[in-house]
Amino acid sequence: MAKRKTKFVCQECGYESAKWMGKCPGCHNWNTLVEEMEASSGKGRHIFNVARSAVAQPERITSIESQEEPRITTTMKEFNRVLGGGIVMGSLVLIGGDPGIGKSTLLLQISAQLADKHLPVLYISGEESTRQTKLRADRLGIKSEELYVLSETNLFDISRHVEQIKPSFVVIDSIQTIFKEEVTSAPGSVSQVRECTGELMRLAKINNIPIFIVGHVTKEGAIAGPRMLEHMVDTVLYFEGERHHTYRILRGVKNRFGSTNEMGIFEMKEEGLREVMNPSEIFLEERSHGTSGSTVVASMEGTRPVLVEIQALISPSSFGNPRRMATGVDHNRVSLLMAVLEKRVGLMLQNQDAYIKVAGGVKLDEPAIDLAIAVSIASSFRDNPTRPDDIFIGEVGLTGEIRRVSRIEQRVQEAAKLGFKRVICPKNNLDGWTPPRDIQVIGVQSVQEALDLGIER
């Protein structure tokens, strides 16, 4: 009998080695290599047996006919926008999020909405029994005849049921529980996740069925498994939010059929997730007026402008090394802006503790929020409030200049819709468009000008 070979596979990046090593040479993480049996080259059950009827030939790009991808729309407009207008036929979508955040609830609701349109839907749960799924469906008020529920983890049996039912939509919850018999490693390992995802991708493309797969996340918040998992799928969605808060954010970080960085807001209710059509009002509803350190910025999340409040608290430090803490924005960006304020404006912040927070649990990472952060820091340091009807937009350079930002028209229109009276933005953004009548747009060239205009004395 031939001796079966073993290999060591990194559970983070998929690096393979013939011997065990404490530190992975690929991702430089410690204690991530796990011993696995190499797949035998003998006969095994192949899920897909597609005959190669013809060899593909290269075509001129001008001779290929352009056609728009057909999409399936749900009744959740927020969900449709994150996907770029709806679910594309034959697409493979990966959705990740913390445990208990609501991934299964969201997908079960989407499945029920499609089943109500008389589209057969197959919901496959590898973590729960059919009775447990039924309990969640009763809580959500789901009674769709076209919604089929299956509790299975064997990929061969899953593909067999898909061929029998021929559904229009498939959900796999979750990919870490699915296994392929030909792969000897345990479910959830790098080899199993990689092979199962590849087979599901072929199943989606051959049968033209959209498949949603749920992925577990690591303690750092990234999807567990090899990084190539995100490269294999068509769309990657992250479901974010605090478990003790009712609001959830569905964010698209990769989309082959639409724009990336789109964001949808949902509210967790007892009867399920409810979409929030105007998130700016929610993020600003508890804002206190007349207090220092509070500013509002118009940030772009994909194609949607969202108004959020940025809060800053500057207090004298009791230690030799002052603290710099940031929630919702990059810590290094805060340190950079404080250095600009100290060098270009003359604020002595080197002996001050700084605490920056984006209200509502939103994470902002675009340069246009620089000016709002700088104004909130200066407002808290001087203990002078900003005007409650002001919006600050702009990127701050190292020389203290305010640089141009993108999509200024949409940001200003969103501010005018919510009743703000002034927008302080880069002067270079004022050309080529006409602002709304009921809002004043003021262009500035430096941080000092913005502070003189925005902070009350």
What the block records as the tokens of 132 is: 């447990």
| φ, ψ dihedrals at 178, nearest 5° | -85, 140
Contact 246, 266 (CB under 8 A): no
44 labelled binding-site residue: no
Which H or E run contains 230? helix 228-232
- Give φ, ψ of 147 to 5 degrees: -95, 115
198 assigned ligand-binding residue: no
CA distances from 447 to 250, 340, 374 (A): 34, 9, 8
Give the C-alpha distances (Å, rounded to integers) separating 336 from 26, 230, 372, 376, 400: 32, 32, 14, 14, 11
Find out whether 208 and 89 touch, Cβ atoms under 8 Å: yes
Give Cα separations from 11 to 97, 169, 177, 215 (angstroms): 19, 30, 15, 14
DSSP H or E segment with residue 269:
strand 263-269
42 is in an annotated binding site: no
Phi, psi of 317 (to 5 degrees): -85, 140
Angle at 371 between CA 367 and CA 372, to 5 degrees: 105
Closest among 355, 417, 436, 422 to 392, alpha carbons compared: 422
Tokens coding 267: 């509210």
166 labelled as ligand-binding? no
**Residue 26 annotated as part of some ligand binding site:** no
The C-alpha atoms of residue 185 and residue 164 are separated, in whole angstroms, by: 28
The one-letter code for the residue type at 368 is A
> Distance between the two ends of the chain, CA-based, in angstroms?
87
Residue 104 marked ligand-binding: yes
100 belongs to an annotated ligand binding site: yes
Per residue in 78-105, is it b (16+ CB within 10 Å) or e — as a string? bbbbbbbebbbbbbbbbbbbbeebbbbb
Q: Is 400 annotated as a binding residue?
A: no
Residues that constitute the known binding site for ATP:
97-104
Residues that constitute the known binding site:
97-104
